[in-house]
Amino acid sequence: MRIAIILTMLLLLTACAQTADSSGQPQWDFDHNVQFQQKKLDEHRYYLKVVSTSKTHFSQLATFLMRKSLDICQSYGFKIEVLKGVEGFNDRRSFPHLIMDSLAANIECKT
């Protein structure tokens, strides 16, 4: 009986621990404390979305975007096309309770 319970628990832990790299499913980076989604568009292009929360600052999101782009492409020379998530300089003054959008970008690796 105990062996069946232990095996079930191990199976559940293994299922929860698996992450998909390019499927577009939400993932969590515990080192940088950010949630992100990564999707492969074609052989050298990827879509990366870094999810904004109330505890993450834009600088943390942008830094993670750069580091993850280098990790994906495995070399420098990649191009980042920001799609959304960059707010204006005076947005916080104009809209003090502005909820920042997630940072989304297309990444093109050097061929």
Q: What pLDDT does residue 100 have?
A: 74
Query: How far is residue 9's CA from residue 31's CA, in Å, rounded to a whole number?
Result: 26
Q: What pLDDT does residue 67 have?
A: 94
Q: What pLDDT does residue 21 have?
A: 52
Q: Alpha helix locations (H) across 1-111?
A: 2-17, 58-73, 91-94
Residues contacting 77, CB < 8 A, separation 6+:
109, 110
Task: Please report the DSSP string for 52-66 in residue order.
Answer: P-TT--HHHHHHHHH
pLDDT digits (tens), the chain, 111 positions: 778 677 666 665 555 444 445 567 889 888 878 999 999 999 999 999 999 887 788 888 999 999 999 999 999 999 999 999 887 666 566 666 666 789 999 999 998
Provide the whole-model pTM. 0.70
